[in-house]
Amino acid sequence: MKNINDRLLGLDELGGLTNLGMKREALRKARRMLKSRDMTGDDFNRALNAILTLADKCKPWTPVIEVAYARLQRRDKQAVRRWMLYFYCSSRNHEAASKFIPLRFAGEFDIAELAFTCETWLELKRMDEMDNLARRLSRAFKVAKHPSMLTHLAGYLGEYYARKGLWNKAVELWEFVQQDNIHCQNAVESIVEIHVAGALLAIKRGFELAQKFNRDFDPKMETTLPGNDKKIQQQAEKKFLKLQNALGKLLPEKRRRELGLDV
């Protein structure tokens, strides 16, 4: 009975330290808990909650957490699965996070898990998986009640639409996200990227038209001084190239590929 009471007191202590923002004390206790031979699934969950809440960086915690996870019984591993998903996403290790994505989304934490799952598949560029989640994501966005979660879901749905070429829908969602003070910068940057992408497409079309005019050029049909028509197209191509180079600096090649551009 004493051991059980000691454990309950320890768990309450960690939760209290975490809620009070006592970073050093909470993280020290979380580390001890993860290294304990008597660690349970509940211990693991509480320790990860403290780490995700208070640690400046999650990635340095990876070795101790993976060793602790390996020691858990199979039943406990199932119970802590979502915390591993949260941890690996926060550590930017989305390949590892993908191994903890649920087969079905149900229960109290389904929307949070859906959000982290979308982040994982988008980072891994698994648009096939995102296609499967799109309808569920759209429904979740409509029913989510917590403002922060609503913002996250809108951002992920906007990114999905952007990569599918549905840029107007993406901008509409990001205009909603930009009302959030934390996510405003990312949302505005995303909107700007869409407009830059549109400008690059317009320039690409301009190149194609200039080349077409040159191919179809007939000296007999020239409407300006001899040679001027061709010179006009050459000047246009130089201007297009200058604009393309300037805009390319605002939209790196990696991002252009994500948005489906080949320019």
What is d(CA 260, CA 197) in angstroms, rounded to the nearest whole number? 9
pLDDT digits (tens, 9 = 90+) for 66-106: 999 999 999 999 999 999 999 999 999 999 999 999 988 87
**Please, which pLDDT band fits residue 8 given cuts at 50, 70 and 90?**
very low
Which tokens belong to 122? 């988008």
DSSP 180: S
Structural contact between residues 245 and 191, judged by C-beta atoms closer than 8 angstroms:
no
Structural contact between residues 156 and 140, judged by C-beta atoms closer than 8 angstroms:
no
pLDDT of residue 212: 83
pLDDT digits (tens, 9 = 90+) for 14-44: 888 888 888 999 999 999 999 998 899 999 9
- Per DSSP, helices labelled H in 100-183 are 110-123, 127-143, 147-163, 167-177
pLDDT of residue 109: 66
Region label for 107, one of left (φ > 0), alpha (ψ between -120 and 50) or beta (otherwise): left
Res 6 pLDDT > 60: no
pLDDT of residue 98: 97
pLDDT of residue 263: 65
State the number of CA atoms in the 13 A half-sphere of 39 facing the CB.
Answer: 28
Phi/psi of residue 96, each to 5°? -70, -40
Between 1 and 99, name the one with better pLDDT. 99
The pTM of the full predicted model, rounded to 2 decimals, is: 0.81
Structural contact between residues 162 and 170, judged by C-beta atoms closer than 8 angstroms:
yes
